[in-house]
């Protein structure tokens, strides 16, 4: 009988398996603009890459739409054990280091007008942003190799405290008023960065100092997981200054700030206004997928190792990028991160695009919104919100 001979299910095949190579390709194009400048003598060629990052990718996201597919849970153990996906991330680390060093060399050795230097700051900062994204993926993993690679790729832009701050701080406090890395309704990205960058550094240092004291280890030592990548940064920048001259220092500083501002931009859009309920003073409900803004846009997810499936990431932070899932009925961004960054940089446009979207998610209940305290009354009046808080 047919019931005695069931048809065997085909093994799961990841249709995005080779699409993840796009995550290697996008940071690699840092050399295209400089190569065109060297070939043509026209520094305007550098803006081709800026246009690609901030205009072409968002348009491609709109044109290609969203991917709502998930791997079956039965396939996840094999998917996560497949070393191919890890090798993609391993290969990206030297590409990012090479791109950062190449950018510094090009700026130091090529006469550029001010607009050319600005383009190189944006290009190199984008490379640094990819460094932080890779550090984010690897820093969550338990293997010593991946955790050290995370420190290595965070070092070029001097953001080595990110792994400590993100894993032990942001994931604990996300979508609460006490989290410097969760943006509030009514807070512009320019106000947010003044709270987020210093707040993240202070929280990271306090967390690491507490860990070391509890382990009876000296805070100022190589046991410190903030000082380890900071030392790599110091060695890299010193080598670049010796090789290229001290005149490269301002470029390194400004490009690194822009790189780290890409993380601020991601943090700003990932949890804007979303709030976990406070069950007792200082005690919040567990983080759920609906406490993050999600994006399933295809192209930018390929370029960012599924970072935009942020809802599943926060609910299951150890899950690897290739197996992160889409969930229905989540707070959803209208574009991928590259497009939403541009929207965030224009605060009135951001409020126009996102505030009503946020209010729809929370049922226009101010007590369910993480609101800028200084603007709470004005926001409640402007949008005629109920406010049980």
pLDDT at 282: 86
Q: What is the pTM of this model?
A: 0.93
Backbone angles phi, psi at 142, to 5 degrees: -95, -5
Residue 375: other Cβ atoms inside 10 A: 15
Q: Identify the band that residue 7 occupies on the pLDDT scale cut at 50, 70 and 90.
A: very low
User: Of 304, 292, 290, 259, which Cα lies nearest the Cα of 136?
Assistant: 304
Q: State the chain's mean pLDDT as an integer.
A: 94
- pLDDT tens profile 165-213: 999 999 999 999 999 999 999 999 999 999 999 999 999 999 999 999 9
Q: Which residue, chain included where needed, has tokens 């003073």?
A: 281
Alpha carbon distance 5, 133 (integer Å): 48
Alpha carbon distance 161, 209 (integer Å): 12
- pLDDT tens profile 278-319: 999 989 999 999 999 999 999 999 999 999 999 999 999 999
Q: Identify the band that residue 9 occupies on the pLDDT scale cut at 50, 70 and 90.
A: low
Q: Is the pLDDT of residue 3 over 80?
A: no
Q: Is the pLDDT of residue 11 over 90?
A: no
In this prediction, residues 214-232 reach a mean pLDDT of: 97
pLDDT at 25: 87
What residue ranges do the domains of the chain occupy?
2-383
pLDDT at 30: 81
Percent of all residues in the chain with a pLDDT value above 70, rounded to a whole number:
97
Q: Identify the band that residue 26 occupies on the pLDDT scale cut at 50, 70 and 90.
A: confident
Q: Is the pLDDT of residue 29 over 90?
A: no
Alpha carbon distance 379, 374 (integer Å): 10
pLDDT at 389: 59
Tokens found for residue 101: 């060093």
- pLDDT tens profile 244-272: 999 999 999 999 999 999 999 999 999 99
Tokens found for residue 73: 């849970």
Backbone angles phi, psi at 266, to 5 degrees: -65, -45
Q: Identify the band that residue 10 occupies on the pLDDT scale cut at 50, 70 and 90.
A: low
Q: Identify the band that residue 57 occupies on the pLDDT scale cut at 50, 70 and 90.
A: very high
Percent of all residues in the chain with a pLDDT value above 90, rounded to a whole number:
90
Alpha carbon distance 49, 51 (integer Å): 5
Q: Is the pLDDT of residue 344 over 70?
A: yes
Q: Is the pLDDT of residue 4 over 60?
A: no
Q: Indicate left, alpha or beta for 384 from its phi (over 0: left) and psi (-120 to 50: alpha).
A: left
Q: Is the pLDDT of residue 2 over 90?
A: no
Residue 23: other Cβ atoms inside 10 A: 25
pLDDT at 388: 65
**112 neighbors 44 (Cβ within 8 angstroms):** no
């Amino acid at each position: 009988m047919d019931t005695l001979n069931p048809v065997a299910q085909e093994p799961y095949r990841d249709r995005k398996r080779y699409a993840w190579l796009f995550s290697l390709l996008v940071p690699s194009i840092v050399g295209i603009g400089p190569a065109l400048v060297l070939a043509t003598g026209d520094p305007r060629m550098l803006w081709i890459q800026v246009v690609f990052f901030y205009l072409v990718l968002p348009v491609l996201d709109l044109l290609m739409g969203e991917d709502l597919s998930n791997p079956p849970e039965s396939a996840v153990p094999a998917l996560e054990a497949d070393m191919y996906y890890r090798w993609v991330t391993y290969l990206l680390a030297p590409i990012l280091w090479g791109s950062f060093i190449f950018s510094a060399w090009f700026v130091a050795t090529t006469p550029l007008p001010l607009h050319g230097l600005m383009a190189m700051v944006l290009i190199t900062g984008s490379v640094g942003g990819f460094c932080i994204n890779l550090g984010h993926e690897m820093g969550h993993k338990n293997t010593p190799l991946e955790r050290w690679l995370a420190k290595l790729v965070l070092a070029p832009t001097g953001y080595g405290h990110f792994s400590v701050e993100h894993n032990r701080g942001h994931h604990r406090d996300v979508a609460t008023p006490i989290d410097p890395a969760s943006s509030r309704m009514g807070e512009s990205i320019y106000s947010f960065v003044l709270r987020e960058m210093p707040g993240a550094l202070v929280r990271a240092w306090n967390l690491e100092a507490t860990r070391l004291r509890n382990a009876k280890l000296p805070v100022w030592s190589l046991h410190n997981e903030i000082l380890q990548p900071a030392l790599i940064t110091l060695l890299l920048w010193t080598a670049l200054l010796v090789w290229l001259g001290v005149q490269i220092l301002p470029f390194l500083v400004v490009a690194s700030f822009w790189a780290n501002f890409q993380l601020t931009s991601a943090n700003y859009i990932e949890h804007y206004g979303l709030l976990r309920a406070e069950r007792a003073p200082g005690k919040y409900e567990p983080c759920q997928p609906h406490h993050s803004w999600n994006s399933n846009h295809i192209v930018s997810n390929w370029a960012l190792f599924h970072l935009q499936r942020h809802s599943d990431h926060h609910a299951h932070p150890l899950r690897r990028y290739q197996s992160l899932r889409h969930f229905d009925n989540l707070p959803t961004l209208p574009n991928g991160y590259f497009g939403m960054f541009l929207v965030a940089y224009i605060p009135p446009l951001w409020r126009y695009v996102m505030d009503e979207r946020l209010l729809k998610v929370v049922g226009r209940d101010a007590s369910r919104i993480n609101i800028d305290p200084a603007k709470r009354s004005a926001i409640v009046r402007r949008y005629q919100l109920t406010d049980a808080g």
